[in-house]
Amino acid sequence: MLVNGQPYRTVWMEGGIVKLIEQRLLPHRFEILSCHTCQETAFAIQDMAVRGAGAIGAAAGYAMAQAVLKAPESSFRAALEEGARAIRATRPTAHDLFVAVERVLEAAVAAPTVAAARQAAVSAAGALADDNAKAGEAIGRVGAGLLHAGMRILTHCNAGWLAFVDWGSALAPIYSAHRAGVALFVYVTETRPRSQGAKLTDWELAQAGVPHVLIADTAAGSLLRQGKIDGVIVGADRIAANGDVANKIGTYSLAVLARAHQVPFYVAAPRSTFDPSAPDGDAIPIETRHEDEVLSVSGLADDGTLKRVRIAAAASHALNPAFDITPASLVTRFITEAGLLEPEGRAIAAFVQAPHEILSRIA
């Protein structure tokens, strides 16, 4: 996607160094963060310098490749396992992260020599990132078929190209339709407590020239009641075998509101986000983040500096679950790289078990 007219991916690797767009500084500053080690990349994931299911997965794959590149020959396998444990511990809810670690680790372990393992790990990480970008583009093509001129779409959090290697999931259909000349309007929730909608989605849509407006999270219900929203599209961090969806906190509330007002509620996600080992939403681990994210806000001060200020009383405490579970019964369809998918177990199982080559040809 374009930033000031220049094409970028969200995350990539150059000479063993992981490069990523520093999302903690957006929308006020655009910078590229360089991570030289597996540990640095893992911290970037944990501290949300890079975030979003697909981007986390790609970054985790590259971090695993870094662990393979730096592992000493004398304790090669042990160093790989240590690196994998460190990466897995960063963000427990995002399934793409675990898929990426396993894929790169398996490629390295299967190689006949240490030198071959290092090359295989880098190749596997690069292929995983490419697959993520292709999946995003394909999701865009599939989802664009649901959109028509004049539609008003609500989205939550950030599931655009900053959340993927490219294109995104929830925003990919909007970008695809917009490029085809379909006039759409997007309502962007601010997405407290970290304000990914205000800081990232709003910025992304402006870069792409998509008409949109930022709204408070609490305004969504009123807009739905007034008939001003024609559809809701969100992304996902993990989808259980039965179709229950883990996504940014607040997603469940929007799904309930959409159902109450008979507005379609779509979840856009690639196959790597579906977790067949989780039978339902109760089996998905929900990350709880530090209370300071709720008690404080950060932004651009009048003097042009980025500052953090506390908004709650000094003695206050906060509960900060990063995700919630939306039952499959509230999902209209999944938008995937292979087409629209019914939110039920048999359809999901067939999709997850389809040979990779078939999905690649479809995408």
Q: Are residues 39 and 172 in the same domain?
A: no
Backbone angles phi, psi at 153, to 5 degrees: -110, 135
Overall residue count recorded for the chain in this entry: 363
Q: Which residues pair with 187 in a beta bridge?
A: 154, 213
Same domain, 332 and 203: yes
Domain boundary at 104, 136, 168, which? 136
Q: Work out the angle at residue 30's Cα, subtended by the Cα atoms of residues 200 and 323, and round it to the nearest 5 degrees.
A: 30
The helix or strand, by DSSP H or E, that contains position 267, with its residue range, turns out to be strand 265-268
Q: Give the separation between CA 138 and CA 116, rounded to whole angstroms.
A: 32
What's 299's domain CATH number? 3.40.50.10470
Which amino acid would we find at residue 40?
A: E
Pair (172, 218) in one structural domain: yes
Q: Looking at 189-315, list the stretches that DSSP marks H as alpha helix, in order from N- to C-terminal side.
A: 196, 202-208, 220-225, 251-260, 292-295
pLDDT of amino acid 130: 97
So what's the pLDDT on residue 10? 97
Residue 1 confidence (pLDDT) = 84
- Give the relative orientation of helices 114-144 and 53-70 as an angle to the nearest 10 degrees: 170
Share of the chain above pLDDT 70, in %: 98
> What's the whole-model pTM score?
0.94
Mean pLDDT, rounded, for 349-363: 71
pLDDT at 181 over 50: yes
What is the CA angle 9-11-12, rounded to 5? 90
Please, what is the average pLDDT of the chain? 96
pLDDT tens-digit map of 119-152: 999 999 999 999 999 999 999 999 999 999 999 9
- 149 shares its domain with 118: no
275 a catalytic residue: no
Query: Is pLDDT above 50 for 363?
Result: no
The tens digit of pLDDT for each residue in 310-325 reads: 999 999 999 999 999 9
pLDDT of residue 358: 53
CB-based contacts of 166, cutoff 8 Å, min separation 6? 1, 9, 10, 132, 133, 136, 137
Largest CA distance in the chain: 66
**253 alpha carbon, distance to own chain's centre:** 19
Q: At residue 5, what is the residue type?
A: G
Task: Specify whether 129 is located in the same domain as 169.
Answer: no
Of residues 157, 142, 198, the one with CA closest to residue 55 = 157
Domain edge (last residue) among 79, 109, 136 = 136
Kindly report, residue by residue over 217-239, the tens digit of the pLDDT. Answer: 999 999 999 999 999 999 999 99
Give the three-class secondary structure for 235.
Answer: coil
Phi, psi angles (nearest 5°) of residue 292: -60, -25
Pair (89, 206) in one structural domain = no
- Domain membership of residue 166 as a residue range: 140-362
Asked whether residue 356 carries a pLDDT value surpassing 90, the answer given is: no
Q: How far is C-alpha 71 from the geometric centre of its chain's CA atoms? A: 29
**Confidence at residue 331, expressed as pLDDT on a 0 to 100 scale:** 98
* CATH of residue 125: 1.20.120.420
What lies within 8 Å, CB to CB, of 91 at 6+ separation is: 45, 46, 56, 97, 287
Query: Tens digits of per-residue pLDDT, 249-269?
Result: 999 999 999 999 999 999 999
Q: Which residue has the tokens 């394909």?
A: 138
Residues 223 and 300 in one domain: yes
Domain co-membership, 343 together with 195: yes
Q: Which of 96, 217, 237, 244 is catalytic?
A: 237
150 and 55 in a common domain: no
In the beta sheet, which residues pair with residue 21? 32
153 shares a domain with 69: no
Given this model, what pLDDT does residue 360 score?
Answer: 52
Domain count, the chain: 2
Instruction: Count Cβ atoms within 10 A of the Cβ of residue 360 and give its class: 0-12 exposed, 13-18 middle, 19 or more buried.
Output: middle
Cβ atoms of 239 and 268 closer than 8 Å? no
Residues 103 and 15 in one domain: yes
95-110 helix and 53-70 helix, angle to the nearest 10 degrees: 30
Domain end, chosen from 116, 136, 156, is at 136
Do 151 and 117 belong to one domain?
Answer: no
Query: What's the mean pLDDT in 178-196?
Result: 97
Cis peptide bond prior to 211, omega within 30° of 0: no
**Per-residue pLDDT tens digits for 99-123:** 999 999 999 999 999 999 999 999 9
Mean of pLDDT values over 179-205: 97
Distance, first Cα to last Cα, the chain:
18
